[in-house]
Amino acid sequence: MALYYIAAFTAVRALPSAFDRARSAKKDFDVLRRTGGSDGPRVLFVGGNPGVARFYAAAAQELADATRGDVAVLGLRGFVDGRRVSRGWWGDATRWALNRPRGPFSVDEQIAHVATQIDGESALAESQGRRLVVVGHSAGRCRNSRGTDRRFDTRAIDATLVDFTTGIGGYFALKAQRDAPVICVTPYLENREADPAFRKLRRLVTSPLAPVLAFSLASFSTLLGIVPRVARRRLLRAAGATAGMDRVHEDVTVETMCGFGNVVTMLGLARDEMLALAKPFDGPYPSGLVLFDDP
């Protein structure tokens, strides 16, 4: 098994370099910015897993227009808009495979990453005499209480209320423990041990073979990235990987999730989320936060 793992890791590590135009990227995350004016709040939007910022492009522009403010969508560490990964990522991936998660695979380091970005946006908002609001989300698309994609109740932002329970992005934002209003969209990952399907998934994702599975799937996705986008879209659609997505999100998925780094980061972070998050979030909450439970 050890020889298989070493051979597999060596092979898949070589794959991205053949198609990677920015292997030495300085940052292992992206920040997408949209503006709707200068008299509204600054909004820092923290996405969930996978933390690719461009998943939220349409939602960010709609939110910016509705609030007449500026929206910065923060990608999670280890997720970039394309197939590139930073050189240090490989060391983090190796440590994660040995069950010593660091960098993008560590829940604690993701929280620290969010905290750093909140500090930067907060300082910018203060210098402009504007308010900062943090929005956290769990999955690749945003839904309001009626289930409509990419719609936000801007009155909640104006009142600094929270319309939903927390998502993994919301969990990271709340655990960052910064004194800023936080709006959380959709429930965050919770270990639902009473659900047989969840128990089966958890056993698979947290098993010792999880790194081998993750690297294998990531290798396949990297090879799939060579295929023309039209064919790639059809293959993912046939496999059910883009079921329920609109055309915009389907295209983003086809472009960003057919690369080694993003796939391994998504599966690796999911594994560590399941190990670290066993109970609903119980604080501490930022000052002025009001939660409305809407399952």
Q: Quick: pLDDT tens for 149-186.
A: 333 343 343 333 332 333 588 788 878 867 777 776 65
What is the end-to-end Cα distance of the chain in Å, rounded? Answer: 43
Structure tokens belonging to residue 117: 């970005």
pLDDT of residue 75: 93
What is the rounded (10 degree) CA torsion for 45, 281, 241, 143?
Answer: -50
* Whole-angstrom distance, CA of residue 17 vs CA of residue 37: 41
Q: How far is CA 93 from CA 10, 52, 53, 194, in A?
A: 12, 18, 21, 31
Query: Does the pLDDT of residue 141 top 90, yes or no?
Result: no
pLDDT of residue 138: 67
What is the pLDDT averaged over residues 281-290? Answer: 59
Q: What are phi and psi of 83, to 5 degrees?
A: -100, 0
Structure tokens belonging to residue 210: 């999880």
pLDDT of residue 25: 52
Q: Identify the residue whose tokens are 């081998």.
A: 212
pLDDT for 191-229, tens place per residue? 666 778 777 877 888 888 889 989 998 999 888 888 898
pLDDT band of residue 279 (cuts 50, 70, 90) is: low
Amino acid at site 289: L
